[in-house]
Structure 1
Amino acid sequence: MDKKYFITLADYNVWADNIAMGWLNQIDEEQWNQAIISSFSSIQQTAMHIASAEKIWVDFWRKVPDPVYLSAGFKGTKNDLIEIWRKASAGLRNFIEEYPEENYLQKISFIKPNGEEDQMEFVQTFPHIINHSTFHRGQLVTMLRQAGFTKLSSTDLFTFYRLHC
């Protein structure tokens, strides 16, 4: 895996996140908070999880002291969360652009949501967060359909490649 490939995946993630955020901008507060059974209990909780994960991984990569999961205490509005997510997604892309390829095998220390400390090579953590966000964006699609929102479009990597590469 090389830097060019990682930048393409980061570009894909920003593109797909922006589509998902566009969907969220179109739903009302009832849909946003509606109880829906999935990995998380609502569209809001699922979106917060994606934004939190993208933000915390950049914090881990940058070795931010005492990083905090957004989901641990976020009290803002839907628009606040979408803006945090937008910045996290762009920040992830910017980090990849700046991060030297010769550091890809370096160990990254992180703290799991349960407080357990662990390490993985950077080259493993980056594809993980892309896969993680893709998985939960897929859940958003299902949850949005259950909440009555149907103005969905593809966020598939294949579609990204066809449109941008």
Structure 2
Amino acid sequence: MNPHTHFLQLARYNVWATRRLLDAVTQVPEADYRRDVGLFFKSIHGTLNHLLVGEHFLWFSRFAKGASPTVALDSEVEPDRERLAQALKGGAANWLPLIESWPAERFDGVLSYTTMRGQPATLPFAATLAHVFNHGTHHRGQITAALTALGRSCPELDLVYCLQEEARA
């Protein structure tokens, strides 16, 4: 599989899984949504904010603009629940045209950026992009575990379900 096909597939999955998760989260009462349920970023809200910070403020800026903003990984960048959901959905969709714009040889290169500690870093481009999508999957999994612990239903987010849905469409 060529890199465009692979990473566009991961970006489509990211959009699909983000939307499905956020649809399930809308059913969670405010107190449970903001309650410390033992996640690394405490609450569902805290974990969603972390996804916005990591995936969109940091990594998207690094890949799209060559910028390395400084923002704490546990920042509450969007306190409003609905605006946070919209920012996550829009941010996930932004990866598709970005990935499409890259020439194939870009995936064989490196990504140079500045870490949160101000240190220069250079990593393999494709592997680092894979990290972005893997990171989102990790934290969505944490949120589905929290939903289950709260007695809520949670969506099936496995990639194969996304692929099956795409195949039917």
Normalising by structure 2, report the TM-score: 0.86
* Structure 1 stretch displaced more, 61-70 or 51-60: 61-70
Of residues 68-77 and 12-21 in structure 1, the stretch that sits farther from structure 2 once superposed is 68-77
**Does the alignment pair 1:110 with 2:113?**
yes
RMSD: 1.9
% same residue: 26
Map 1:66-145 to 2 at 5 A: 66-69=68-71, 71-72=74-75, 74-145=77-148
Runs of 5+ unmatched residues, structure 1: none
Unaligned runs of 5+ in 2: none
What's 1:36 paired with? 37
1: CA distance between counterparts of 2:20 and 2:120? Answer: 33
Count of aligned positions: 164
Alignment pair present for 1:15 and 2:1: no
Q: Residues 11 and 95 of structure 2 are in contact (CA less than 8 Å); yes or no, is this contact kept in structure 1?
A: yes
Which of residues 54, 62, 65 in structure 2 aligns to 1:63? 65
CA apart distance, 1:45: 0.9
Cα distance, 1:114 vs structure 2: 4.2
Give TM-score, length-normalised by structure 1.
Answer: 0.88
2:39 match: secondary structure: coil
Residues 4-62 of structure 1, C-alpha deviation per residue, up to 9 Å, x if partnerless?
11111111111001111111222221011111112221111111112222102110012
* Structure 1 pair 147–117 and aligned structure 2 pair: CA distance change class (3 A): farther
Q: Which amino acid aligns with 1:74?
A: V
Q: Deviations over 1:72-95 (max 9, x none)?
A: 352531112111111110112221
Q: Offset at 1:115? A: 4.2
| 128-137 or 74-83, larger mean C-alpha shift | 74-83
